[in-house]
Structure 1
Amino acid sequence: MRYLLGLDIGTSGTKTALFDELGNTIATATYGYELFQPQAGWAEQNPEDWWQACLNGIKDVIDNSKVSGSDIKGIGLSGQMHGLVLVDKNYNVIRDSIIWCDQRTEKQCEYMTKVLGKEKLIEITGNPALTGFTLSKLLWVRDNEPENYEKVYKVLLPKDYIRFKLTGVFATEVSDASGMQMLDINTRNWSDELLQKLEIDRNILADVYESVVISGHVTEEVAKLTGLEVGTGVAGGAGDQAAGAVGSGIVKEGIISTVIGSSGVVFASTDTPRFDKEGRVHTLCHAVPNKWHVMGVTQGAGLSLKWFKENFCRKEIDEAKEKNINIYDYLSKEAAGSKAGANGVIYMPYLMGERTPHIDPNVKGGFVGVSLINNHADFVRSILEGVSFSLKNCLDIIEDMKVEITDVRVSGGGAESEVWRQILADIFNYKLSTIKASEGPALGVAILAGVGVGIYESVEDACEKIIKGQDVVNPNCDNIALYDKIYKVYNSLYPRLKDI
């Protein structure tokens, strides 16, 4: 039997997963790390923490599975998108990585728009200037830390730093590079026009490949540290959303993915680039060769529930521990005790600004409609509903772009909640299906690696064989009209919050 390894460098931790060529999960390991917030709206991580988590994870899955390193035929890399990793000429990290949810770069986005124009930015990169994307972060370092900018030898994304540590090669691939906002998504290569106008040296960018291409091979040093075979191929891989889409079989038009992770994403594959003129959803290169995708993103999805848990659930955490219940399962059960509409409480999930449909890094979240009748369960349910309303905003825009929708699949940590899945089905008014690909992005990039090393003929062929549907959730007809009414109120609240 041949095996494939998938690494998913996430925001809260790195998951390492080993699969056989049939897509069965053989072993997994997850190691967490810190997120630093030096100021409000800032978010940073230490790339060396990612690397240590990868080393530990690889060693664990090899040791626990008893699979020989020589039987692992390929490695795929997935990672949180948009993070800025700066490396000097000695291959050392210059500063902590500024990651995807950081919102400090508003001035740099204004500069990008002034120099290039909003329409030109969308035409080239598929997106207007965005605070979360990599380019504005690079410009922020140039403006505010010139001593660090002068040291820059290479600009990398989180997963591509791990690629360098595994292989010694500086490389990226089209799906993740699309989120840097320096790639021409039409040609699937760096935009010389954009780089020249913004006075950025193309040489500081890594070579860009299609996601299935083997971009490097495991070094002797890494083999000794991990148990991998020297020369094992490392595929281009994908940004976490494209990787998760492959791992859920979202590789052709008509199939829509909704992911409830730290952020929330509605993702659709397209055969040609599709653009929203207002830039409310992202258009990026897919990890599938010669395909693209549109993607709406809400910043504070699972992040909202995590924030609420950490600040307002001391009692619930203690009770969950006593009963040996996962705290999120506990909160999900609690939310089920509140009726649809959360007894009037509406949650706006803008804890880290917003991207879709409001490109607004400064908007703040809030609970609206609170009265003396409300209890803890209402607040928990309102979070699940508010995030789902925000995801509905994403879906509406994609529908307005005339993207075909025949099948909606849901995944991510939030989708493990039966209550949250039902709420989402009711608000979307679509039948939802979950996927037996619980490892999501890690499986997706393992598939990409499998194509790269010749185990699978194509991404589509592999997904057809491996990805199978699981549970189906039908909308509850009793709740559809109620949620439609609340959705209208929800949409009216942003203008009232944006100036607070």
Structure 2
Amino acid sequence: GEDVCLNHLLNSPGNFTASKLAWVKANEPHIYEQCDKIMLPGDYIAMMLTDAITSSNSGLSEGIFWDFQANEVSADVMDYYGFDDNLIPEIKPVFSNHGEVTSEIAQRLGLKAGIPVTYKAGDQPNNALSLDVLEPGEIAATAGTSGVVYAVSDQVSYDPQSRINSFAHVNHQLTEETTRIGILLCINGTGILNRWVKENFGNNLNYVEMNQLAAQAPIGSNGLLVMPFGNGAERLLNNRILGASFQNLNFNIHSRSHIFRAAQEGIAFSLHYGFELMQANGVIPKVIRAGNANMFLSDIFSNALVNVTNTPVELYDTDGAKGAALGAGFGVGIYSSPKEAMSKLTKLKVIEPNAAQVAEYQAVYEGWKSILEK
């Protein structure tokens, strides 16, 4: 039922790993009957390296197997789907010894046998770690092919409409008193939209040249608004299939400069719309952190996001691989805490809100939002 799912699992489980396993059980019973243990991708890679099978509260929560009230694997999920408890691997802390590299694998990969695997996490929790997003109010943003906003909260909370997801962050229950929930939303059409306008309106321009043209149009693109949802239904829109659209396009006013700018502004507005859902769920943004890559290479996009959210953006020279290596350093005891492990990240730039532009962007956003919610 809805109440149990949201209060205990923090999510509607329908499109996550537990339900996918239930599909296998119902539709491919000959496969299911051979199962000894279930693993998320990181668990499987670690098993291949070490021959040990483990998981964590963070990993299991991403599969919607974790009961946050009971602080254990959900008996409700296991009973409802008819899963045997023995399918669940040994559960260990995120930062701990999940096994050592075997001699065979060490020889094949040119590594030293016995190296411990001391950290594993899903892509977005790990991206957040790599950006030192560990405390309430800190937000990690990515804007590549799709866009993700990942915020940290100290409250076990959920969205009543399941438009955003809540998982155990990598440092959840690092101590008994530490509650750290990662709250995630995904926009399917960020870099995809930017590439689409480049391919269809760019006439062989590169992205730098396209951004230079976009800068020639004013904030708000003279009334042109873009809905960036052309890559499928969005959970933050309650699965309405809205598609992408250009609103208020005027052949006498608008050029491709306006189209380039409006597309990037529409992407920033869609992320801000998700921010508002997060704020309704108790997230109070203090800072947005991102890698200096993808859409964040565009000043148009970065400034639009900073000013419409009225939240500074810090850009770092980091990526998920570097973050994972540092996380493993904490897991093996080189660092005393994840915060210390991330303490020497290189901050490249800070973009602060501009008071005049905040008001201008937020006025444009309200018009964009009114179209979205019609």
TM-score scaled by length of structure 1: 0.66
Structure 2 counterpart of 1:426, from 295, 302, 307: 307
**1:59-111 superposed Cα distances (whole Å, 9 cap, x missing partner):** xxxxxxxxxxxxxxxxxxxxxxxxxxxxxxxxxxxxxxxxxxxxxxxxxxxxx
User: What residue in structure 2 maps to residue 353 of structure 1?
Assistant: 233
> 1:310: how far off?
7.9
> Contact 1:185/1:284 (CA < 8 Å) preserved in 2?
no
Q: Which moved more, 1:393-402 or 1:135-144?
A: 135-144
Deviation at 1:449, TM superposition (A): 0.7
Partners of 2:163 and 2:131 in 1: how far apart? 24
Change (3 A) 1:155 1:473: same
Of 253, 258, 279, the match for 1:378? 258
Q: What is the rounded CA distance, in whole Å, between the counterparts of 1:479 and 1:427 in structure 2?
A: 8
Worse overlay, 401-410 or 281-290: 401-410
Cα deviation, residue 380, structure 1: 2.9
> Residue 201 in 1 paired to residue 84 in 2?
yes
Who is 2:124 aligned against?
241
User: Cα deviations across residues 310-355 of structure 1 (Å, max 9, x unaligned)?
Assistant: 8526732xx54xxxxxxx4444334323322233332222213213
Q: Distance between the aligned counterparts of 1:170 and 1:361, measured in 2?
A: 39
Correspondence for 1:448: 327
Who is 1:417 aligned against? 298
Shift of 1:477: 3.6
Structure 2 residue 10 is the aligned partner of structure 1 residue 126: yes
Which residue of 2 is the match for residue 483 of structure 1? 361
Aligned to 2:196: 308
2:245 and 2:26 mapped to 1: Cα distance? 33
- Structure 1: how far apart are the matches of 2:153 and 2:298? 29
User: Residues of 1 paired with 2:363 and 2:57: CA distance?
Assistant: 41
Contact 2:130-2:322 within 8 A present in 1 as well: yes
State the SS of the aligned residue for 2:365.
Answer: helix
CA shift for structure 1 position 151:
4.2
Structure 2 distance, partners of 1:237, 1:386, is: 34
User: Contact 1:298–1:390 (CA<8 Å) still a contact in 2?
Assistant: no
SS in 2 for 1:284: strand
- Answer yes or no: is the 8 Å Cα contact 1:257–1:409 preserved in 2: yes
Amino acid at match of 1:128: S
**1:298: which partner in 2?**
186
**Alignment of structure 1 residues 458-497 onto 2, 5 Å:** 458-463=337-342, 465-496=343-374
Deviations 1:125-163 (A, max 9, x none): 1112353x2223333334444454444444332222222
1:87 counterpart residue number? none
Q: Aligned equivalents of 2:99 and 2:212: distance in 1?
A: 46
- In the other structure, the counterpart of 2:270 is 390
Q: Distance in 2 between matches of 1:146 and 1:363?
A: 37
Contact 2:163/2:185, CA 8 A, preserved across alignment:
no
8 Å contact from structure 1 (residues 188, 285) kept in 2:
no
Give the Cα–Cα distance (whole angstroms) in 1 for the partners of residues 69 and 325 of structure 2: 26
Matching of residues 32-431 of structure 1 within 5 Å: 117-131=1-15, 133-288=16-171, 289=174, 290-305=178-193, 308=196, 312=200, 315-316=203-204, 319-320=205-206, 328-350=207-229, 351-356=231-236, 358-360=237-239, 362-372=241-251, 373-411=253-291, 413-431=294-312
The RMSD of aligned alpha carbons is 2.7
* Structure 1 portions without partners, runs of 5+: 1-116, 321-327
How far apart, CA to CA, are the structure 1 residues paired with 2:302 and 2:191? 17
Q: Is the contact made by 1:183 and 1:190 (CA closer than 8 Å) also made in structure 2?
A: yes
Counterpart of 1:415 in structure 2: which amino acid?
F
Question: Which is richer in strand?
Answer: 1
SS at match of 1:234: coil
- More off after superposition, 141-150 vs 209-218: 141-150
Gap runs ≥5 in structure 2 = none
Q: Which amino acid aligns with 1:134?
A: T
Call closer, same or farther: CA 1:418–1:494 in 2, change over 3 Å. Answer: closer
SS of the residue aligned with 1:235? coil
Contact 1:264 1:298 in 2 (8 A): yes
Once the two structures are TM-superposed, the CA of residue 203 in structure 1 deviates from its matched residue by: 2.7
Percent of paired sites with the same residue: 27
Report the CA distance shift for 1:140/1:390 in structure 2 as closer, same or farther (over 3 A).
farther
CA separation of 1:354/1:189 partners in 2, compared to 1, >3 Å: closer, same or farther? same
Alpha-carbon distance between aligned partners in 2 of 1:359 and 1:442, rounded to the nearest angstrom: 33
SS in 1 for 2:371: helix
- The CA distance in 1 between the partners of 2:106 and 2:228, in whole Å, is 44
Cα gap change, 1:374 to 1:137, in 2 (>3 Å) = farther
Q: In structure 1, how many angstroms separate the alpha carbons of the residues matched to 2:184 and 2:158?
A: 12
1:206 CA displacement: 2.9
Normalised by the length of structure 2, the TM-score is 0.87
Deviation (angstroms), 1:399? 2.4
1:8 alignment counterpart: none
SS of 1:155's partner is: coil
What is the rounded CA distance, in whole Å, between the counterparts of 1:374 and 1:430 in structure 2? 30
Distance 1:454 1:296, change over 3 A: closer
CA distance in 2, matches of 1:426, 1:282: 25
Secondary structure at 1:238 match in 2: coil
Change (3 A) 1:384 1:232: same
The alpha-carbon deviation at position 422 of structure 1 amounts to: 0.9
Q: Distance in 2 between matches of 1:130 and 1:261?
A: 26
Code of the residue aligned with 1:429 in structure 2: it is N
- 1:284 aligned partner, one-letter code: F
1:223–1:433: structure 2 CA closer, same or farther, 3 Å change rule? same
